[in-house]
Amino acid sequence: MIWNIADILRGGWKQHEYQDVILPLVVLKRLDSILADTKSKVLEKYNEYKGKVNDLDPILKRTSGTAFYNISDYDFKTILGEPKHLAKNFKQYINGYSKNIQDIFEKFDFSKQLERLEGGDLLFFVMQELNKVDLHPKTTNNYQMGHVFEELLRKFSEMSNETAGEHYTPRDVIGLMTEMLFSPDEKDLKKPHVIKKIYDPACGTGGMLSVAKDYILENINKEADIFLYGQELNSITYAMAKSDMLIKGDDPDLIRGGEKDHSKASTLANDQFFGEVFDYGLSNPPYGVDWKKDKDAVEREASRGYAGRFGAGTPRISDGQLLFLQHLISKMKTEKDGGSRISIVHNGSPLFTGDAGSGESEIRRWILEKDLLETIVALPDQLFYNTGINTYLWFVTNRKSKERKGKVQLIDARTFFKKTRKSLGSKRHEIDAESKKKIVELYEKFEESEFSKIFKTTDFAYRQITIERPLMVDGKVVKNKKGEVEIDKSLRDYENVPYEMDIKEYFDKEVKPYVPDAWINESVVDHKDGKIGVVGYEIPFTRHFYKYEAPRSLEAIETDIEKVENELLTLLKQL
């Protein structure tokens, strides 16, 4: 049925635009089917209380038996009875929905698609197709309907490769994230009547939240009560996420954002779950994207220190990834209340960008000194639809197991993948079941191996000392009026000393033999411990898994060059 509608749209709509018509209509068809059994009762109640009660919303929701209702005289079948007035009646039908549903369709910007369908006389044929399938809950349950919607989102993401990655994380990546996120908690999650809250501050179409819930219900505890919370900036993906929640029987009011006003919709500028904490956080926030629009709000909050969400510092304006990580940490339950676990996707930048004392380094320092970072997994390249770069999964928690306290595990999973049957935008690799199993085993074993390294949190720390040299003129050292040696700022240098090494010992061994007139500037001290030098933190992931490869022999290279030269000569003769 769905691809029949795509055939009807072909020509008038570009392939990647099909979703703008089909997704909202499938949602409407499902909502219409859910309301079918109580529609007449809702209309009776509406006519009975209209003009007598100020707020009919609670009465009509109670009558419909769901979190929404429709007071239009039309439904999907009766609306086709007047083909000449179909578009006008269809608008009236949408306007008959409760405000929470109208909000979704405003965000879908569906009125534009309705005009296009009306202009091309296609609305009747599309509605006919929709009426060929039965989406009543008795025929198609929430679980099946959820799979239909997930499949649609996946298909449309493949059709729209240039933008899909912004809002859609491949399911193989989410599968790995969720399995590792819940792995240490299986015993707790199996308890009867367990209730857990899962949160995504950049939830896109809601896929991470849905997969996380499905994983718990299908693999750990089918009786668990899982509540899903999300905020999304983009209005259309917000509408998709909210629709997904409705279709699957989750609470759509726990998906927030989507306003046209950026300052209201943005998680960084306007946390719509202020004061809430969650058992689990997982997210794939935008990386390499600036936070200029959020600058004033973020800096205001950062000025509040740890009373706000960004107390550890702010990264450079060109990349807001570490703001999302701090935001998620602010949403953790306290350790005495059970603590929380977080899984987040980053590119390489948060590992090492920024010198000692920079915003990025201070954020890493805060996370590592609080012993929150548990594991980082380096993923294969070419996993995402819109970028081929290497990405990393960070796992952060304030309830590490005993053996992990004060430790960080790095897992190199860059070679654990299989090639996809065909390229989907930049996605040419996927984490298949076998690869996922290997990665999860490396994590659960928590042992040193070729692909797993275990470090103390302080192994990523260093102390940056400032090295000064005297100002020389005509071969003589220049002194000021007080007789102090003038510093040549152009020769100033910096050395990163391993955290647990004595700086004087390092200086005498690594600097003094090469620049005998140099000295350490002892006035540059760390803002926290007051010792000489500024403490920095970086995680040089690649260095720890570097494998030396010997260069090819000169004979092999010469043979290749000769071969290419001969091929060129042959081609030239043919000309």
CA 38 to mean position of chain CA atoms? 39
Nearest Cα neighbor of 111 from 79, 128, 88, 80 is 88
CA angle 238, 256, 348 (to 5 degrees): 70
Please give the average per-residue pLDDT across 228-252, as a whole number: 89
Q: Which pLDDT value is given to residue 501?
A: 95
Q: Is the pTM of this model over 0.95?
A: no
**Model confidence at 166: pLDDT above 70:** no
**Distance between CA 254 and CA 248 in Å, rounded?**
13
Q: Which of 378, 373, 279 is closest to 326 using CA atoms?
A: 373
Q: What is the pLDDT of residues 396-422, one digit of tens each?
A: 999 999 999 999 999 999 999 999 888
- What burial letters (b/e) apply to 337-358, b meaning 16+ CB within 10 Å? eeebbbbbbbbbbbbbbbebbb
Predicted confidence band of residue 160 (pLDDT cuts 50, 70, 90): low
Q: Which of left, alpha, beta for 384 (phi over 0: left; psi -120 to 50: alpha)?
A: beta
Q: Please give the share of the chain, as a percent, with pLDDT higher than 70.
A: 98
Average pLDDT in the 225-247 region? 90
pLDDT (tens digit per residue) in 280-293: 999 999 888 899 99
The fold of 151-446 is Rossmann fold (3.40.50)
Q: Where are the domains of the chain?
A: 2-140, 151-446, 460-544
pLDDT > 50? residue 162: no
Note the pLDDT tens digit of each residue in 20-76. 898 899 989 999 999 999 999 999 999 998 888 888 999 999 999 988 999 999 999
Give yes or no for residue 164 having a pLDDT over 50. no
Point out the least confidently predicted range of 1-10, 83-92, 160-169, 540-549.
Answer: 160-169
Residues 6+ apart with CB under 8 A from 293: 262, 263, 266, 269
Q: Which of 150, 154, 155 is closest to 170 using CA atoms?
A: 154
- What is the secondary structure of 198-261 as a DSSP string? EEETT-TTSHHHHHHHHHHHHHT-TT-EEEEEEEESSHHHHHHHHHHHHHHTS-GGGEEE--SS
Contact 440, 183 (CB under 8 A): yes
User: In whole angstroms, what is the distance from residue 550 CA to residue 528 CA?
Assistant: 44
